[in-house]
Chains A and B, each alone.
Chain A
Amino acid sequence: MSAMNLIARTAALLMVGFGLASLGCEKPSGGTGGGGATKSGETGTPGSPKEDGDAGQIVIGHYASLTGSEATFGISTDNGIKMAVEERNKAGGVKGRQVKLVTLDNQGKPQETQTVVTRLIEQNEVVAVLGEVASSRSLAGAPICQRKGVPMISPSSTNPDVTAVGDMISRVCFIDPFQGLVGAKFARENLNLSKGATLYNRAQAYSSGLNTNFKEAFTKMGGQIVSEQAYSDGDNDFSAQLTAIREQGPEFIYVPGYYTEVVNIARQARKLGITVPLIGGDGWDSEELKNAGDALNNCYFSNHYSHEDTRTEVQEFVKKYQEQYGKVPDGLAALGYDAARLLFDAMERAPSMSGKDLASAINSTQNFAGVTGAISIDENRNANKSAVILEVVNGQPKYKATVKP
């Protein structure tokens, strides 16, 4: 062991150490915006606090699953938010300042969600955060926003727990118990049915939550659930459950799943000779329902909005979205769009861009004219709004009724 060797060894260890340190401490510059428009002006003006000066941009953050198995949801929502931001900037921005959107991907993982939200708040210095679709990720991101005092608006998490995290967290969609109630009310009062069955995804918070709430509401209204069947993520064959349901002879089946499953459930049900209506929730909402052909005729689902709605803001939104992304906007895109616009509205009303002012402006929103209906934020920071019931006619959702809270 010569001295030469010792020196070389120490040097090598040190270099590796420094290399790792440089890897770890490398301060990533700015964020990666969703589109080309957000690419310019990566960092805010250094030295000056972000609230000061009217020339600087207002940075807002969005965390979503843009990669991984739930990318579909994140991409739709992000499209809606991007559109709202671009529109606003063209119209002169908020309080004369341009808005910059930073979208970061969380791969659909809760741990990464926390890292990403911290990053948005600390490195991108966002004044408000939008996100997520899935309640489990919203619940991971919300405590960080609450702790750091940055308002967060969830576009489409329906689990009641999300806004219970604190006064910085609000949402623009209705919550599970309400949607369950809407489905039950519609089945019981509009369709006059009393014997129902349910078929839900037990591995999915959304589906099982809706199932519980529907069941409660429906039995309270004097209805009866004759069969309750479940499936799991990744199941694509529902004939066993449907056969069991058929034996009980219900008058309708409540299917609170996503459209990918619903299309298959409907086809398989019809093949098994089940002709009763299926009723579902906003998870059904997609252009892809057209592929069900006539299997989904005489079926209904509750939703945030109907793209057939004749109100001008809806028609304009649908038209613009179709021009930009080449497809009819789904509910997630509409909710993302509304969340961003509600945030801008609150920004205009807030005396300053500090978290506290912004949050209280958001929480005092009343009758905001969104694409998904008039939104009022209630004392639990949930959106108080009506739901629409759509009927599927040859794969096309047609407006059927509006159910008020």
Chain B
Amino acid sequence: MTQFLQTLLDGVTVGCLYALIALGYTMVYGILKFINFAHSDVLALGVWMSITIAGWMGMGAAGQPTPPWYMGLLVLVGTMGFCGVVGFVIERVAYKPLRKAPRLNVLITAIGVSLLLQNVGQQKFAFGPYPKSFPSLMESSSLFTVAGVQVRASDVAVVGTAIALMAALQFLIFRTKLGAAMRAVSFNTRNASLMGINVDRVISFTFVVGTMLAAAAGFLYGLKYEGQAKQTADSMWVMLGLKAFVAAVVGGIGNVRGAVLGGLLIGLIEFFGVAYLSSQYRDAYVFAILIMVLLFKPEGVLGRATVEKV
């Protein structure tokens, strides 16, 4: 029972992270119809920016008391802001000029941007080639214990922040004028521009929001694992991004609620697979689920099947 609950808790926490990252993929896909391969590198950038900002604010040095919670929030906002700016620049320089080109081209520039972020981040003038540890911004002791399972403050913070961000996004998309414009562009770009929507601006905005969500996920990732952040060129970031992307597809790509559901699903499947089957094939579970879902419900769990017209 303890193992079951523990696995459940871990699966949900990691699922929330996947969901946040998946949201970025799904939003960009919904509007631009391409897989943003640089997304996972923005995530890594988020982790490293959090470390850097926390360092500037004098947090995280060994032997210091844990800072109050609002300092962590400040780091989160700073990271999201910085990555948002980076996202804006990426979109403007690498994606916008190719709006009318085949999608495969944008994919290649995305790979280029991804390589660029990875390797610039690893330079001495940026974050350096060595892994760094994430400063502890929260008490590492457990908040309370349920049936032998320790619920930690960081878990609560991760899930709480993720839910808050997702709720904010939900509000943005379904309750604001800008959100309506985003949905319109996603539905039909040409008609949206006929309706007087500034398509370019909406696309830029969507992209920046997606990037900021990835940055937030990066911060939460650091908060949860507290240990070592690997250098930006490490393949683990791409793998993490890939799993989140799988989550987006499983949930139904282009569908915001689907991304959240997919994230949780993938997190739980991964953790239960490791705990009850074998830890040998962790990545294989995720991709096997992906292929199963695509074969039996290609549009994803919550996606709507579209009929292509001539």
Q: A residues near B, CB below 8 A?
A: 67-69, 71-72, 75, 202, 229-237, 239-241, 243-244, 247, 259-261, 263-264, 267, 271-273, 288, 290-293
Contact = CB atoms under 8 A, between A and B. Distances in A.
A237 B235 contact: no
B283 interface: yes
Given A67-B233, A230-B280, A244-B275, A237 B131 contact: no
Contact of B236 (A236, A267, A290): A236
A233 B235 contact: yes
B234 interface: yes
Contacts of A68: 119, 233
A259 B228 contact: yes
Interface string B214-236: 00000001000111101101111
B231 to A, nearest CB: 6
Contacts of A233: 235-236, 239
Contacts of B6: 239, 243, 272
A243 B7 contact: yes
A272 B275 CA distance: 15
Contact of A71 (B132, B233, B271): B233
Interface in B261-310: 271, 274-275, 278-280, 282-283
Contacts of B7: 239-240, 243
B14 interface: yes
Contacts of B271: 237, 239-240
The 6 closest A-B pairs by CB, nearest first: A234-B236, A291-B133, A264-B227, A234-B239, A240-B274, A260-B228
A240 B12 CA distance: 13
Nearest to B270: A240
A67 B129 CA distance: 9
A101 B238 CA distance: 34
B33 interface: no
A241 B274 contact: yes
Given A236-B225, A236-B236, A243-B6, A260 B230 contact: yes
Contacts of B227: 236, 260, 263-264, 267, 291-292
SS class of chain A's interface: helix, strand, loop or mixed? helix
Contacts of B122: 67, 71
B150 A240 contact: no
Chain B contact-residue range equals: 35 or more
Given A68-B233, A240-B7, A260-B131, A273 B228 contact: no
A327 B153 CA distance: 34
Contact of A264 (B129, B225, B278): B225
B228 A244 contact: no
Given A71-B122, A229-B279, A272-B150, A288 B3 contact: no
A97 to B, nearest CB: 32
Contacts of A235: 236, 282
A72 B130 contact: yes
A14 to B, nearest CB: 30
A139 B10 CA distance: 39
A120 to B, nearest CB: 22
A231 B279 contact: yes
A231 B274 CA distance: 9
Nearest to B234: A69
Contacts of B237: 234
Nearest to A229: B279
A247 B152 CA distance: 20
B105 interface: no
B283 A232 contact: yes
A71 B279 contact: no
Interface string B76-103: 0000000000000000000000000000
Interface string B123-151: 00000011111000000101000000010
A270 B291 CA distance: 37
B179 to A, nearest CB: 33
B35 interface: no
Given A231-B282, A244-B275, A260-B230, A288 B131 contact: yes
B194 interface: no
B117 interface: no
Contacts of B233: 67-69, 71
B178 interface: no
B240 interface: yes
B195 interface: no
B104 interface: no
A237 to B, nearest CB: 6
Contacts of A239: 6-7, 10, 271
Contacts of A243: 2-3, 6-7, 275
